Structure 1
Amino acid sequence: MSDDARTPIRAFISAKFPQISLKDDEDIFALGFVNSLFAMELVMFVEKTFGVRVPNEELRIDNFRTLDSMAALVARVSGDARISAG
């Protein structure tokens, strides 16, 4: 597994929204590009890409606002301390 979850997550978001250059701590919801449908796509992407299941208690918007928060989520739910979470 990648040591930095941000890389594949950034690639996924950039493929959907090529017009933005996303910083690690930039709120993707505040940018106005992300809606609830894309939020669910993010959840499914994270689960499939990292082979994890995001528990219901982790399905909070704050866990998906930034690349940093998504990387931290992946590290928590995977139990893999090697994954960079910031």
Structure 2
Amino acid sequence: MTVEGENATRTAETVHKELLDFLTERIQTTVEPDQDLFSSGMVSSMFAMQLVVHLEEAYDLAIVGGDLKLDNFRTVQTMTDLVMRLQGTAEAH
């Protein structure tokens, strides 16, 4: 997949901040980067689909197959890692 424009220049730090902002706005509470969103009760498994849609639209990704596992959406850090990997710009964090 080719990533163009603004998405091509996003760093892991930028994605991380954007995801924290998105979650804070959606669930109206502060989220820690390594906090398990599901086991903490902050979000439901139904919210996982909203996360998939958000990531696909915000970062021009297709999340399919083995990437559609709940573990990829548990924390802001795992979502950041997923975005970076799918964009082919994985960075050590």
Calculate the TM-score normalised by the size of structure 2. Answer: 0.80
Seen in structure 2, the aligned counterparts of structure 1 residues 21 and 85 have a Cα distance that, compared at 3 Å, is: farther
Shifted more, 21-30 versus 41-50: the winner is 21-30
Q: How does 1:7-86 map to 2 (within 5 A)?
A: 7-18=17-28, 20-81=29-90, 84=91, 86=93
Gaps of 5+ in 1: none
Gaps of 5+ in 2: 1-6
Q: Which has the larger radius of gyration?
A: 2
Deviations, residues 11-53 of structure 1 (Å, cap 9, x unaligned): 11111111x2211111111110211221100000000001111
Give 1:55 deviation, angstroms: 1.9
Which aligned segments of 4 or more residues in structure 1 are displaced greater than 6 angstroms? Answer: none
Q: Is the 8 A contact 1:69 1:85 kept in 2?
A: no
**Identity percentage over the alignment?**
31
Calculate the TM-score normalised by the size of structure 1. Answer: 0.85
